[in-house]
């Protein structure tokens, strides 16, 4: 069953319309929902001809266990960098400051209250490889951090 991206103008976003992840576009409604439900935002930015974006779409974003966990614990937002270069620029700079490099797919986790990123990376494989943890492990660790270590003033 298609998700919210099925009717997007962006070809890149429509490529993700049949993912089991319940993607949102970058909208005020998505952000308000994340705030209301106290869910960290998983923001994924990419573009149509990006090799690793396509790989991640076919692997992690199509994996049912990952989608189930993502949908229950995060508010996933997908952005086409060619459609929203303003958002891409902000979060690419943040990722570069956090980890010393950037690239696409640009994947960052945002606090819903202020949209400040607290973790990020590029390609996350389904299973641990290339010296990177598996994506489900990343999601579980990020959610545990969010629940246990987030400052009380922001809960």
- What percent of the chain has a predicted confidence (pLDDT) above 90? 91
Please give the Cα distance from 62 to 68 (Å, whole number). 11
The full set of domains in the chain, from first to last, is 4-149 (3.40.30.10)
pLDDT at 155: 45
**Terminal Cα distance for the chain, rounded:** 33
pLDDT at 98: 93
Using an 8 Å Cβ cutoff, are 52 and 122 in contact? Answer: yes
**Mean pLDDT for the stretch of residues 26-38:** 97
pTM flag (> 0.85): yes
pLDDT at 142: 96
**Mean pLDDT for the stretch of residues 66-72:** 98
């Amino acid at each position: 069953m298609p998700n919210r991206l099925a009717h997007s103008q962006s070809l890149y976003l429509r490529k993700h319309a049949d993912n089991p992840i319940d993607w949102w576009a970058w909208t005020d409604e998505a952000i308000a929902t994340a705030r209301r439900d106290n869910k960290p935002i998983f923001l994924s930015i990419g573009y149509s001809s990006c090799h690793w974006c396509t790989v991640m779409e076919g692997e992690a974003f199509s994996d049912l266990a990952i989608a189930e966990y993502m949908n229950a614990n995060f508010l996933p937002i997908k952005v086409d960098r060619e459609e929203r270069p303003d958002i891409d620029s902000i979060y690419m700079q943040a990722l570069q400051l956090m980890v010393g490099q950037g690239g696409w797919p640009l994947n960052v986790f945002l606090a819903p209250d202020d949209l400040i990123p607290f973790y990020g990376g590029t390609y996350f494989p389904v299973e641990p490889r290339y010296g990177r943890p598996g994506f489900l492990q990343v999601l579980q660790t990020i959610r545990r951090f969010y629940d246990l270590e987030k400052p009380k003033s922001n809960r």
